[in-house]
Amino acid sequence: MDILILAILIATGTYMLNAKEQRKRIVLLGKHLSHYQIEKLMEALTEGYLRALGESTDERRDQIWSLLSTTETQLAEQFGRFAAEFAKEPEATTRVSRLALALPFAETILPSATFDMRKALAIHARGIAHVVQNTGHLSPKDRAYMMTAELFLMQHTCHWFCKSKTIASARMLARHQTPHEQLVASVSAETRNAYLSLTQGR
């Protein structure tokens, strides 16, 4: 009975410490995001892509692609500024545990099992910018597909920072029916290589 009570106390304490740390991360990320319209632009862009892909004529699709180019540019510019602003945060507040589940103080106790959120956001900023600039000379449809993957992977990283990798992956499946592995496979090779090197310590 004593062992059961001790286990309950440990579990409760772990949960409370995790919740406290996660609230700090959510507040930190939210503080920076509040200066921008990144989420609104992401929503407009992904909805616009779906609308363009659903059009039956090339002429109408081309019109929508053209209109979306302004939104893409705005998003890339705002996310670049957001990443640069977040990069000014001290490293002690930007470490992310590579462990599947959240553990209190894992970033302090196991620093080798962490990565820097500032570097992750810089990778995503470059990835989004490259798709907007179309450095790979992709068709509008392929660009839309890659941009969506870049944005969703970035969103996964933000959820990972705030909660854990497991929760981030579960949210991606629930909201977009897309496994984390598929997102990684669908972004540009430059983003994928830099992302895996950072998050997996390759």
Q: What does the pLDDT look like over 141-157, one tens digit per residue?
A: 999 999 999 999 999 99
Angle between helices 58-86 and 140-162 (to 10 degrees): 30
Token look-up 């180019």 returns: 69
Q: In sequence order, which residues have a C-beta less than 8 Å from that of residue 119 and are 6 or more positions away?
A: 198
Q: Is the pLDDT of residue 53 over 60?
A: yes
- Please write the tens of the pLDDT for every residue from 105-145: 556 656 677 899 999 999 999 999 999 999 888 998 999 99
Classify strands 114-116 and 95-97 as parallel, antiparallel or unpaired.
Answer: antiparallel
Q: Where are the alpha helices (DSSP H) in the chain?
A: 2-33, 38-54, 58-86, 106-109, 117-133, 140-162, 165-176, 180-186, 189-200
pLDDT at 111: 64
Length of the chain equals: 202
Confidence (pTM):
0.86
Q: Are residues 116 and 96 in contact, defined by beta-carbon separation less than 8 angstroms?
A: yes
Taking the CB of residue 128, how many other CB atoms lie within 10 A of it? 28
Nearest CA-CA partner of 191 in 158, 152, 141? 152
pLDDT digits (tens, 9 = 90+) for 160-173: 998 889 999 999 99
Structure tokens that stand for 128 in this block: 């989004």
At 85-98, the pLDDT tens digits run: 999 999 888 988 88
Provide the residue ranges of all domains of the chain, joining segments of one domain with +: 23-200
Q: Please tell me the distance from the alpha carbon of residue 148 to that of residue 93, in angstroms, as a whole number.
A: 28
Q: Provide the mean pLDDT of the chain.
A: 86
**Band (60; pLDDT cuts 50, 70, 90):** confident
